Structure 1
Amino acid sequence: MIAPAKALAFLSGLGPRITGQNISFDKAAHAEPDVAATHRPARTSLIGGNLVGRHDDDADAPFPIIDGVAVIAIAGTLVHRGAWIGQSSGLTSYEGLAAQIDAAVSDNAIRGIALEIDSFGGEVAGAFDLADRVRAARGTKPVHAFLAEHALSAGYALASQATRITLPRTGAAGSIGVITMHTDMSGMLAQKGVAVTLIHAGARKGDGNPYAALPEAIRDRLQSELEDLRMLFAETVAAGRGARMIKEAALATEAAIFRGAAAVEAGLADAVADPRIAFRALADSLNRPVLTVGRPPKTPTLSHPKQEMIMTDQTDADARTPDQQDPQVAAQGAAATPTQPTAPTAQEPAAVPPAPGTAAAAAARDATADAIRAEAAEVASICAQAAKLGVTLDAADAVRRGVSPDALRGQILDSLAAKSEASGILASAPVATNKPSPLVAAARKSADSATR
């Protein structure tokens, strides 16, 4: 019950094994049509949430690209060698993963890397070298790990190197340990009347063979090797997780497996969320435009039009220290934000405000009005974007209290941190501070000087 073309292909591969001799075919061809050449099928992606087609602009990419994010699947049993890209017969090779990561890092059109992980682990050989490569990649682009369900043993060694790890409620992470096995077949062979004699050169050449019981000395040596590998495993996790899981904490897990919220509490992961929603938050954050003060947004001149940082917490004005601010802009704060006078230091000479009624004073008032309007406009824009993310902020109240855009962004991120749906945003956004608006700080400084 098989098509003739498929039967010929089958016999070509397995026929010699069955018959013990080569098989030739008369007047028959077993070449099958090249489906890939005529049709490039869509592939499913868990974190994409739908069928992901290969578009013309990324048809040659070794992975799906969703909204500028490379999705690299780490699934099944992990093995050292295997020149294929992606999974093959239930195996994923470190070789193939390394090629995909290198391609994603070098492609300027890719803004982030998503590791879709569902693996119980695999070989030691090659695992730690690939882990180092993943950690190096996140120095160039954000690398987020989304657990499709499991990241255990070697799978977790790779996940731990990501910028951020998200797992579902039933997702499992951990198993920071190493295991090997010795099989003693001597009793079974003796029952069958089979005697095996190993002839070897070198006293340890036959250590651990399955045809004899394992001597205690060899067992102790193997145990020592495993402890060394476990220490390397813990150090690798600590290098990737930092303060979230130090080496001692990784060792203290004793290779236990943690699920869902317990994995987050143990420091093995960062958030519990639906992988699809978390990935969507990451993609949206990487595509959000830069916010600027006092001028309309401008497209940066980068190799890719969307390769900019999001929710930037420093503008051109913010980058200047108070004594570098425009004195005309600084002068407006005396009336807008009263404060207690303080003595100027030797390093900060008091600024002299323009005399009332002069042209300079009028210019200062105009600059003040423009600066206030620009900052108020940015506050309003931030509040509007926050509303789209489900965070409600009162723009008028923020302007009245002199809350800086920087501090406002911090409030938004704090609110989003409690929501697993937006967990991916946190790793891409800069840490906000609670410092007052630079405009207000400069004005206060000028006011202090004028008072004296």
Structure 2
Amino acid sequence: MHHTQIAQRVFNTPLMVDPAKALAFLAGLGPRITGQEIHVEGAEFAAGDREVATLPARSSLFSGDLTRGEARTGGQPFAVVEGIAVIEIAGTLVHRGAWIGQSSGLTSYEGLAMQLQAALDDPAIRGIALDIDSFGGEVAGAFDLADRIRAARGQKPVQAFVADHALSAGYALASQADRIVLSRTGAVGSIGVVAMHSEVSGALDKKGIAVTLIHAGARKVDANPYQPLPDAVRARIAGELEDLRQLFAETVAEGRGQRLDTVRALGTEAAVFRGEAAVFAGLADEVADPVTAFRAFAAALGGTPIPRTKGLKMTTTSEENTVAATTVPVASAASPIPAPVAPAAVTPQTPDAATLTPEAIRAEAAEVAQVCAQAARLGVQIDAADAVARGVKPEALRTKVLADLAARSDAAAIVAAAPAAGTKESPIVTAAKKAAAAPR
């Protein structure tokens, strides 16, 4: 194995990857790279993580294996199902790679870009399906590919099907599709950036090895592995990661449009959202069986009609019908509902009645009712009539619900990096902390 190349891609470079998978990688391959066990500051390896190093090759949900190298035999470098190019985005994402599709658990942005262009150039291809299951990967190359996917929407329809993960760099790519569909257990988000620094000075001291760095330029050896990381260098790296997180959020907003703007993307603080919570937060558009959703996509493009089956046909979209109910109904007993949200939990925002037309007032009330109905399905009970009477804005309700979900979610603690000094804390995080500290 090319351990030096692997180390260069892992340490002292920004990554958009789920932290748990980064730890699993270090547990499996770290000792092979460094020649000894690795200790991660502030984290411990779970049992079994040391056996995880690479992801096995897998087949697409919609067709056969995409790694069979059809380009060498004159075919397309992707599977074609009912006139739709199925491009698989799986495993760890890396910038450069001399392969098409997944190889040894890796998928390269370079290979994905070639597949995308081939799909756009082929007049027989009517649409593009991104089959995504990735925890993320390298920053380098991710945003350029995201821009290309977004531009492709102007030529052919592009839909992302998440089964089951589109996290970090994986979500940066998914967010550029016209529409994102995920399974009930699907997870999206982790809009953040992380960097790892390895420090081996203690191990070298034990072995009696001294390393002398002779350099020109005060910052030439910043973050080298032979010395502890200075506070000033740590702060500079954290600032660079915050800049990249801003770029990440802006890229997501470019792809999602009004469904998720830059402020709301940053406000997630790299949290991970599953199922309907992802739709509510604006990170996805529909919860559905991916295969059924793919058939609907093909049918919409004029392909084979959707067969009538008794299989899973669940569908939950972000475009809900207007709900006129005043009190939100209770969900199933399988998911206990917390106590109703107290009226004081959301700050009223009384509008100037003179500035709102009757039509605008009715539209706002309908949106409040819609938010409350969506919240009910996620286990958050809000009195819609009371919210309307007190003039609570829809966005304020959404923020409260997301904060409640973040406080209860076991994935809410997954963040990319600590905010740089002077960065204002997200209102969602602030509300979540208050909710967690409140007496039950």
Bin for the TM-score computed over the shorter chain: 0.5 to 0.7
Give the aligned partner of residue 286 of structure 2: 271
Within a 5 Å distance, the mapping from 1:11-410 to structure 2 comes to 44-48=59-63, 60-287=75-302
User: In 1, distance between residues paired with 2:62 and 2:285?
Assistant: 17
Corresponding letter in the other structure for 2:213 = L
Corresponding letter in the other structure for 1:119 = S
* Cα pair distance change 1:208/1:223, threshold 3 Å: same
Report if aligned partners of 1:277, 1:422 keep a CA contact under 8 Å in 2.
Answer: no
User: In 2, distance between residues paired with 1:52 and 1:160?
Assistant: 24
User: In 1, distance between residues paired with 2:302 and 2:315?
Assistant: 17
* Cα pair distance change 1:45/1:111, threshold 3 Å: same
Query: What TM-score comes out, normalization by structure 1 length?
Result: 0.53
Q: Deviations over 1:287-337 (max 9, x none)?
A: 169xxxxxxxxxxxxxxxxxxxxxxxxxxxxxxxxxxxxxxxxxxxxxxxx
* Cα pair distance change 1:70/1:134, threshold 3 Å: same
Report if aligned partners of 1:260, 1:272 keep a CA contact under 8 Å in 2.
Answer: yes
* Cα pair distance change 1:104/1:197, threshold 3 Å: same
* Cα pair distance change 1:268/1:145, threshold 3 Å: same
* Cα pair distance change 1:215/1:44, threshold 3 Å: closer
* Structure 2: segments with no counterpart, 5+ residues: 1-57, 321-440
Once the two structures are TM-superposed, the CA of residue 423 in structure 1 deviates from its matched residue by 7.0
User: In 1, distance between residues paired with 2:210 and 2:59?
Assistant: 52
* Cα pair distance change 1:52/1:124, threshold 3 Å: closer
Q: Deviations over 1:123-162 (max 9, x none)?
A: 0000000000000001111100001210000000000000
Report if aligned partners of 1:48, 1:279 keep a CA contact under 8 Å in 2.
Answer: no
Once the two structures are TM-superposed, the CA of residue 185 in structure 1 deviates from its matched residue by 1.5
Q: Deviations over 1:105-127 (max 9, x none)?
A: 11111110000000000100000
Once the two structures are TM-superposed, the CA of residue 239 in structure 1 deviates from its matched residue by 0.1
Q: Deviations over 1:416-451 (max 9, x none)?
A: xxx75597999xxxxxxxxxxxxxxxxxxxxxxxxx
Alignment partner of 1:281: what SS?
Answer: helix
Once the two structures are TM-superposed, the CA of residue 45 in structure 1 deviates from its matched residue by 2.5
Alignment partner of 1:287: what SS?
Answer: coil
User: In 2, distance between residues paired with 1:50 and 1:274?
Assistant: 20
Corresponding letter in the other structure for 1:281 = A
Once the two structures are TM-superposed, the CA of residue 216 in structure 1 deviates from its matched residue by 1.0
Once the two structures are TM-superposed, the CA of residue 272 in structure 1 deviates from its matched residue by 0.6
User: In 2, distance between residues paired with 1:52 and 1:222?
Assistant: 37
Identity among equivalent positions (%) equals 66
Report if aligned partners of 1:285, 1:425 keep a CA contact under 8 Å in 2.
Answer: no
Q: Deviations over 1:337-371 (max 9, x none)?
A: xxxxxxxxxxxxxxxxxxxxxxxxxxxxxxxxxxx
Once the two structures are TM-superposed, the CA of residue 188 in structure 1 deviates from its matched residue by 2.0
Q: RMSD of the TM alignment (CA)?
A: 3.1
Report if aligned partners of 1:278, 1:420 keep a CA contact under 8 Å in 2.
Answer: no
Corresponding letter in the other structure for 1:267 = G
* Cα pair distance change 1:53/1:65, threshold 3 Å: farther
Corresponding letter in the other structure for 2:181 = T
* Structure 1: segments with no counterpart, 5+ residues: 1-42, 290-384, 391-418, 427-452
Report if aligned partners of 2:62, 2:81 keep a CA contact under 8 Å in 1.
Answer: no
* Cα pair distance change 1:186/1:59, threshold 3 Å: same
Alignment partner of 2:76: what SS?
Answer: coil
User: In 1, distance between residues paired with 2:214 and 2:70?
Assistant: 59
Report if aligned partners of 2:101, 2:108 keep a CA contact under 8 Å in 1.
Answer: yes
* Cα pair distance change 1:51/1:199, threshold 3 Å: closer
Give the aligned partner of residue 338 of structure 2: none
Once the two structures are TM-superposed, the CA of residue 47 in structure 1 deviates from its matched residue by 2.9
Once the two structures are TM-superposed, the CA of residue 264 in structure 1 deviates from its matched residue by 0.9
Once the two structures are TM-superposed, the CA of residue 83 in structure 1 deviates from its matched residue by 2.0
* Cα pair distance change 1:50/1:422, threshold 3 Å: farther
Once the two structures are TM-superposed, the CA of residue 44 in structure 1 deviates from its matched residue by 4.0
Q: Deviations over 1:5-25 (max 9, x none)?
A: xxxxxxxxxxxxxxxxxxxxx
Q: Deviations over 1:199-235 (max 9, x none)?
A: 1121111000011111111111111100110000000
* Cα pair distance change 1:425/1:275, threshold 3 Å: farther
Report if aligned partners of 1:52, 1:64 keep a CA contact under 8 Å in 2.
Answer: no
User: In 2, distance between residues paired with 1:104 and 1:51?
Assistant: 14
Query: What TM-score comes out, normalization by structure 2 length?
Result: 0.55
4+ runs deviating over 2 angstroms:
47-56, 419-426
Give the aligned partner of residue 28 of structure 2: none
Report if aligned partners of 1:277, 1:421 keep a CA contact under 8 Å in 2.
Answer: no
* Cα pair distance change 1:124/1:269, threshold 3 Å: same
* Cα pair distance change 1:278/1:50, threshold 3 Å: farther
